[in-house]
Structure 1
Amino acid sequence: MAATYPEGATALITGGAGGIGAACATVLAGAGVRVVTADVAAGADVRLDVTDPDDVERVRAEIGPVDILVNSAGVVGPSALLVDVDLEQWRRTFRINVDGTFLLCRAFAPGMVAGGWGRIVNLASIAAKGGNPIQSAYSASKAAVIALTKSLGRELATTGVLANAVAPAAVASPMNADTDPAILARSQSLTPMGRMGMPEEIAELVAWLSSNAVSFSTGAVYDASGGRADY
């Protein structure tokens, strides 16, 4: 089935000002979807701090129900041995990567259920499966995103709303601008394709998962790892 979308469909994309989020916005808008990007960075349609429940509720009230939710907002967090990670750095990574995903799903899933159709795509990471050394906070938080997605997918399985996750390997995006080069080099060395992913490649997978082409898959994790994923 070709990737089609309900007439007049609206997508909300967090982290939409750059990287994977911006690429998702471009692909979905090109398919005729009305796209609203949300970010703390300049350039998004609406400013949104995904860690703030009141801010999430404000945006929900402003834009109303959406048909597609892409949770792309995220941070890499500290690059340090676990024993050297500051507790506040650990908590900040979880607030953005996990709490943000939870708050957006909690806010927008009910409207999708009421409408009888919806697609939720959460950005996880291949690090959630293998665990990146010197990135314990990031790896653990993205593993939590996968578990959240699996639970939500099962909760919504009979409602017409699907929730799936995408787990990329390292992607050439602004989120990795401050990542330790040694960590990126390790990721690339473990990738059989021998390169980093591009935001546009991840966006194509997200757009497919956001469409009518997917109808019997929920609570699943789709790798975009250049062959790196072992399971």
Structure 2
Amino acid sequence: MEALQLDFTNTHVLITGGAGYIGSSTVTAFLELNAYVTVLDLNPSKLRHVHPKLLPLKADISSEDSVESAFATATTKFGVPTVCIAMAGLDLSVLPHRESLIDMPLEQWRRTFQTNVEGTFLTARAWLKGINAHKDEELRNVSLVIVGSESGTFGDRMNADYASSKSAIQFGLVQSLKGDVARIYPRARVNAIAPGPMDTKQFRLECTENPEQLWLDSGATTALGKPVPTLAVAKSIVFLANETWSGHVTGQILNVDSGKHGKVMWTKEEHAEAFT
């Protein structure tokens, strides 16, 4: 039986959005496992890491030129990135919330899709181009992990733009790519992670501002009854990236969401007002 090791020695991991909450935990995890790590982020200075195997780069995933240039720089520095974690995107902490779809400007919808869907497409394509250019070499851990969201499964009443963009990448894109990547490199895989409510500083702040949010997002709607630590998502990403542990897992969505089982449709107050 082969050694069940999660070692990423001589593996180059490229992470978009790596300076965020989940991203920072993921960067730490891969560095501790001896990987070379490149981070693409609009604000890489937020990274609290200094490491000889870490390359922070400023990049905009919604820009084709920016993505292609960043991948080229990363490849020159550490070699082809065989692992790509497509995490960057606009999330619910930065997007305006709308009471109804009728209140949403077309510009918001387009901007969300340009960043979350087109940006993930550009990232996936750049990664796959790199694999194709080195397909005659012996590559390890050839894996694309796309970071979606529980909202991609359950929707989000106040942010249909966000939920729809996450559905597009974690379902449509992953299912389309799973047969594509294996034709480029036989052991290449693509999967998605769908995190649930995350235990971050931002989430705790929002729960302070709205005491009902903790109950609505994780108390009433998850089996474990609590938000997910960022490290739990990072560990799941590492699992999917490592071919020793998940070499026959592809085309899947791993829900790291404390057992999310939907979303509360009506608060007690809303229901009382609407139906009594």
TM-score, normalised by the number of residues in structure 2: 0.77
How many residues were matched structurally? 230
Cα offset, 1:99, TM superposition: 1.0
The equivalent of 1:191 in structure 2 is: 222
The equivalent of 1:222 in structure 2 is: 254
State yes or no: 1:149 paired with 2:178.
Answer: no
State the alpha-carbon separation in 2 of the partners of residues 125 and 108 from structure 1: 21
State the alpha-carbon separation in 1 of the partners of residues 109 and 143 from structure 2: 30
Q: Which amino acid aligns with 1:208?
A: F
State yes or no: 1:100 paired with 2:119.
Answer: yes
Cα offset, 1:3, TM superposition: 4.3
Q: 1:50 to 1:175 in 2, by over 3 A?
A: farther
State yes or no: 1:62 paired with 2:73.
Answer: yes
Deviations for 1:108-148, whole angstroms, at most 9, x for unmatched residues?
A: 11222424541110000111111122121111000001110
State the alpha-carbon separation in 1 of the partners of residues 202 and 188 from structure 2: 29
Q: 1:184 to 1:93 in 2, by over 3 A?
A: farther
State the alpha-carbon separation in 1 of the partners of residues 161 and 213 from structure 2: 14
**Aligned sequence identity (%):** 27
Instruction: Report the structure number with the largest CA radius of gyration.
Output: 2
Q: CA RMSD in A?
A: 2.2
Q: 1:109 to 1:130 in 2, by over 3 A?
A: same
Q: Which amino acid aligns with 2:85?
A: V
State the alpha-carbon separation in 1 of the partners of residues 105 and 121 from structure 2: 23
Cα offset, 1:92, TM superposition: 1.3
Unaligned runs of 5+ in 2: 48-55, 263-276
Deviations for 1:54-90, whole angstroms, at most 9, x for unmatched residues?
A: 0011111111120110011122233212111111111
Q: Residue 70 of structure 1: SS of its match in structure 2?
A: strand
Q: Residue 156 of structure 1: SS of its match in structure 2?
A: helix
Cα offset, 1:195, TM superposition: 1.4
Q: Is the CA contact 2:8–2:33 (under 8 Å) kept in the aligned structure 1?
A: no
Q: Is the CA contact 2:13–2:81 (under 8 Å) kept in the aligned structure 1?
A: yes
Q: Is the CA contact 1:124–1:145 (under 8 Å) kept in the aligned structure 2?
A: yes
